[in-house]
Structure 1
């Protein structure tokens, strides 16, 4: 039949079929026949979409920067979006107007408004260091935006990929950063050297403290040894004095003993002498011959010869010559053998 056509959409397209201005059917991935003169078909992408953006802003210190990133969104209420923008397609599923191109631009405009609000409050250096904060503020602004809500859009995420100053300022910042980094490196080297010197000083102080402690300990040990040696010498001196005193006492006692023994022996000798004198007094005036006779013992040949020679000696003045031959002397001095029984 003339004007009857068939159309089929993908599952990622939300389709609304209007006939004579009334909504006949709606849903995702529809396929149906329709009468072209009386039908309007709206097709809205239902999946998530990534929308890149890049725009120029000025920081609080009047430095131009370029902000680059992307946002991810999804059409959550297709009917609301269809009320705001025309997503009508023809039989070839081509959009009849350029309204489908306005949606990304409106979202980018909202993102730029949010970014400008925070970048204008920051100077260049701080802005370069606060990308996560800029990213969170843009996402929060878009999620709370009345325009986004009116379009039936849900913002799923925002990523700020880069924030760049102009080339001249970038080179200046790089030079300043290099200088700062060099200064930090020099400062780090200086601090490391100071730290090494401080550690060396502390180590030396520790070594000196240890040496002082060792010297003090050795001094204490030496003093203790001297005290011990002095005590030993004092004890030895006392021992020697005790030994000397003991020796003196012993010598005194020995001398007293010797004196006593001498006195005893002298007394005994005096006693013996007195006894002997008393016993020998009667014989003092007697001739030795009488004494020999009183003895009452006979003389042997030697004794007789001795007596004979004594008498000769006593009467030598009256003897002219006396010849004694060796044979006679030998015979006289030889002991006589007793006859065998």
Structure 2
């Protein structure tokens, strides 16, 4: 909307560069162009303001597919007024000279024209397309058909309107139908997830089995090693026992040989001692045989005295002494 300033019965208009101003005074075009700024009198001026910038028109409407399913179409049409003079002549873009506000609703008329035209072409396409195909390829088909239909619509250039771009955002079925259509896909996704879970579990079981087999193989190998260790220990014990027995046998043989040698030496010594004693006894007997009786008695008394206990004192009675003296006298 243009800025209008009041000064002593005069008005000053200042417009934006995106607004095309047409100023008529007494039926003659005085000012015509975008971004104008001028003075005028409100009683003699007829003003029109036509926007020349690109404008976005968002539209949403319902359609029915070939299999009688309702869908909602969301699209956006970008347009601009390429011929402001033609648009101002066909639509009411006049503004109040005192306030600068539009007297009518020209943009709503343009929106209605574009919406009904786009909706007509979209309905024509969707009415011949099943729901499943509309959801898959309908966006591109509807966009192309709307763009072609708007480009071929004769009312748009006759009104000075140019369509810049057409975008179809989405085509959606009713919520119940959408949930029903999502169910098979969700089931497939769930089946894929379950399959992946089962495969993961199978892989885990296979890995656990491999681990168990490895553990069992390790235990078997450990048992074999323990068996070999026991056998080696037994062999070592047997070898040690055999060597100990052999050593004991050697020691016993050496001890026996030593005992035999000692016995032989003792026997030889005893024999030599006996022979020496026999020779001494023989010599002793031979000497005693050659000695007289008095000598023998003296020797016997000496030997007897050697074997008698110690006598501290000896008392001889007269009878014993007399008898001994008589025997000695007889012998003499």
Task: Tell me the TM-score normalised to structure 1 length.
Answer: 0.58
TM-aligned CA deviation for residue 127 of structure 1: 3.5
Return closer, same or farther for 1:84/1:48 CA change in 2, 3 Å cut-off. closer
Does the aligned pair in 2 maintain the 1:114–1:141 contact within 8 Å? no
Match of 1:164 in 2: 173
Match of 1:254 in 2: 258
Q: Hey, what's the Cα distance between the residues in 1 that align with 2:181 and 2:259?
A: 113
SS in 2 for 1:335: coil
How big is each residue's C-alpha offset from its partner over 1:229-286, in whole Å with a ceiling of 9 and x where there is no partner? Answer: 2133124213322322322332243134224413531452254146425633633645
1:14 to 9, 16, 20: 20
Does the aligned pair in 1 maintain the 2:14–2:37 contact within 8 Å? yes
Match of 1:151 in 2: 161
How big is each residue's C-alpha offset from its partner over 1:4-54, in whole Å with a ceiling of 9 and x where there is no partner? Answer: 9958476474313357766634223745326988x7644213566442324
Q: Hey, what's the Cα distance between the residues in 1 that align with 2:254 and 2:201?
A: 76
Return closer, same or farther for 1:26/1:130 CA change in 2, 3 Å cut-off. same
| Residue 73 of structure 2 corresponds to residue 68 of structure 1 | yes
SS in 1 for 2:313: coil
Q: Hey, what's the Cα distance between the residues in 1 that align with 2:42 and 2:135?
A: 58
SS in 2 for 1:237: helix
Match of 1:318 in 2: none
SS in 2 for 1:249: helix
Q: Hey, what's the Cα distance between the residues in 1 that align with 2:128 and 2:185?
A: 25
Does the aligned pair in 1 maintain the 2:122–2:145 contact within 8 Å? no
Return closer, same or farther for 1:36/1:229 CA change in 2, 3 Å cut-off. same
Return closer, same or farther for 1:189/1:72 CA change in 2, 3 Å cut-off. closer
SS in 2 for 1:337: coil
Q: Hey, what's the Cα distance between the residues in 1 that align with 2:214 and 2:76?
A: 68
SS in 2 for 1:262: helix
SS in 1 for 2:83: helix
Match of 1:80 in 2: 83
Match of 1:124 in 2: 131
Q: Hey, what's the Cα distance between the residues in 1 that align with 2:73 and 2:161?
A: 24
Match of 2:5 in 1: none
TM-aligned CA deviation for residue 160 of structure 1: 2.6
Does the aligned pair in 2 maintain the 1:135–1:158 contact within 8 Å? no
RMSD of equivalent CA atoms: 5.4
Match of 1:316 in 2: none
Structure 2: gaps spanning 5 or more residues: 1-8, 316-332
Does the aligned pair in 2 maintain the 1:50–1:70 contact within 8 Å? no
Does the aligned pair in 2 maintain the 1:115–1:138 contact within 8 Å? no
SS in 2 for 1:44: strand
How big is each residue's C-alpha offset from its partner over 1:81-135, in whole Å with a ceiling of 9 and x where there is no partner? Answer: 4346634545646579x9766643554467558857986897523543678x649
Q: How does 1:1-341 map to 2 (within 5 A)?
A: 8=13, 11=16, 13-17=19-23, 24-28=31-35, 30=37, 32-33=39-40, 41-46=47-52, 49-55=55-61, 62=67, 65-71=70-76, 73=78, 75=80, 78=81, 80-83=83-86, 86=89, 87=91, 89-90=93-94, 92=96, 103-105=110-112, 107-108=114-115, 111=118, 123-125=130-132, 127-128=134-135, 134=140, 137=143, 141=147, 151-152=161-162, 154-155=164-165, 158=167, 160=169, 162-164=171-173, 171=176, 174-175=179-180, 177-178=182-183, 181=186, 183-184=187-188, 187=191, 191=195, 194=198, 198=202, 201-202=205-206, 205=209, 208-209=212-213, 212-213=216-217, 215-269=219-273, 271-273=275-277, 275-276=279-280, 279-280=283-284, 282-283=286-287, 285-286=289-290, 289=293, 292=296, 295=299, 299=302, 303=305, 335-337=311-313
Count of residues in correspondence between the two structures: 295
Return closer, same or farther for 1:90/1:200 CA change in 2, 3 Å cut-off. closer
Return closer, same or farther for 1:9/1:160 CA change in 2, 3 Å cut-off. farther
Does the aligned pair in 1 maintain the 2:60–2:74 contact within 8 Å? yes
Does the aligned pair in 2 maintain the 1:7–1:33 contact within 8 Å? yes
TM-aligned CA deviation for residue 220 of structure 1: 3.4
SS in 1 for 2:226: helix
Task: Tell me the TM-score normalised to structure 2 length.
Answer: 0.59
Match of 1:324 in 2: none
TM-aligned CA deviation for residue 226 of structure 1: 0.8
Does the aligned pair in 2 maintain the 1:54–1:66 contact within 8 Å? no
